[in-house]
Structure formats: structure tokens, C-alpha cells
Amino acid sequence: MRTRIKMCGMTRSEDVEAACQAGADAIGMIFYPPSGRYIEVSQAEKLAQHVSLAVDKVALFVNPEVNFVNDVVAATGADILQFHGDESAEFCQQFGRRYIKALRVKSAAEVAEKIAEHHQADAIMLDAYVKGVPGGTGQQFDWSMTPESIRHKLFLAGGLNADNVGTAIQALRPYAVDVAGGIEQAPGIKDIDKIFAFAEAVRQADALFIENSS
Ligand SMILES: O=C(O)c1ccccc1N[C@@H]1O[C@H](COP(=O)(O)O)[C@@H](O)[C@H]1O
């Protein structure tokens, strides 16, 4: 299995195109106004037109209004919704779209409880817990708190970059890795070299697995 790649927090068309060229499987757009990576719906509508055919468009929200989610989906054609706040399972399911439920890792017990609550989510993202900030902090969490049972639908996030993503893949074998800050020069402004380096580091880690298992 190859590790899927989601590159998140896109604000510029050239970054979207570079991510698609580098081999990203999904592109994330952030609809959480306090984020330095936030984009308006009208901007996202234009950005979505630069996403390659087989690359999923992910719309990220933190405790959004229902109408706002519907507006974003209508404007961007988002394939996948990512809920990064305290949304209930019922809330996430009502849109009839595939969705990723992001959980911030505070304790193993709490993660287990939330995974059980969100067992119908298409994917679970684990990200670092930082008080008062819902995500995109550039911080890593203690990977040993990752339950084995969700590896097949795990999006690993939190402080990943080209230097540490290989170690993360070796340690956890997640379904996908998710990155925002690790491919940037400033919030929302991606660095093309870092985009390609990240994708290459993932490919190298996957190749090592194939090599070691043959
Ligand atoms: O990136 C943000 O600003 C953000 C804001 C609110 C919720 C989630 C957010 N980002 C998500 O967090 C991951 C990890 O970010 P990083 O690599 O540690 O910088 C990011 O990929 C988004 O999925």
C-alpha cells in the first residue's frame, strides 16, 4: 500500500498545481476564519479549478454552520469534508459526503472514546493537542497514542515535514499523511521545493517498506 498525501491550507493556484504535480492525493482548503490559511468561498471556488482531476478537494471546517458547509460544497465541489472541531457524528454525517474527523490527541482514553463515537467517519485524522488552537499548530503528538485499529483509515497530522515524515511512516504505517506548515514559507504561502521534497520523502519511505518486505 502506498501512503496517501494530503497537502492542506492552500491559498494560491500555483501551490495547488505544484502539489498536484508532486503527487498529492488531496488538497485542503481551510474555512476557519482565525487561521492564517483561511480563504473566502469565492477564492476557494477559483482555487478548486486548479485541482487535477484525480485529486480530492478537501474542505476543512471548525464547528461550522450547516448552511456555510453547504455553500462551500456548492461553490467548490469539495469531495471530502474535514471537521476539526467538536462536531458530533450526526453533524458530520448530515451532508452525505465522505468526511474526515480530526481528533486532537490529549490522552489515549479520550482518543479511544472519540474514535468509537466517530466509527462511521471515512477517515480519522490525529493531530496534536494545543490548548485553545484547533489545529495547524506545527506540533507533533505522542505517536505511541495511536490505536492500531484505525491505521487503515488514519490521516496522520501534526508537525510533519520532509525530514520527519519517513520516520512517521515507518513507525505508524498510516493510510495518509497530512501537512500544512511543513511545506510553507509563511502561513498559506507554500514553498514549491518543500512540496516536492515532502512528496519524495513519502515515496522513499514507501519504497523502503517494499524493499524490506521482499
Ligand atoms: O492549518 C490550520 O490553520 C488549521 C486551523 C484549524 C484547524 C486545522 C488546521 N489545520 C490542519 O492541521 C493539520 C496539521 O498542520 P501542521 O502540518 O501541523 O501545520 C493541517 O494539515 C490541517 O489539516
**Average pLDDT per block of 10 residues along the chain, 214 residues long:** 96 98 98 97 98 97 98 98 97 97 94 95 97 93 94 97 97 97 96 98 93 79
Residue of 92, 17, 81 whose CA lies nearest to 55: 17
> Domains, the chain, ranges and CATH?
4-213 (3.20.20.70)
As annotated, the active-site residues are: 8, 127
Mutate to test the pocket of ligand 1, among 60, 103, 129, 185 (most ligand atoms within 8 A of CB): 60
Which string of DSSP letters, residue by residue, matches 154-199? EEE-SS--TTTHHHHHHHH--SEEEESGGGEEETTEE-HHHHHHHH
Q: Are 126 and 111 in contact (CB under 8 A)?
A: yes
From the number of C-beta atoms within 10 Å of its C-beta (0-12, 13-18, 19+), residue 43 rates as: middle
- Interface predicted TM-score (ipTM) of this complex, two decimals: 0.98
Indicate whether residue 28 lines ligand 1 (CB < 6 A): yes
Which atom of ligand 1 lies at the shortest distance from residue 37's CA?
3
pLDDT, residue 212, reads: 84
Give φ, ψ of 190 to 5 degrees: -80, 160
- Enclosing H/E stretch for 101: strand 98-105
Separation of CA 101 and ligand 1 centre (Å): 13
CA distance 197 to 179: 12
Separation of CA 7 and ligand 1 centre (Å): 10
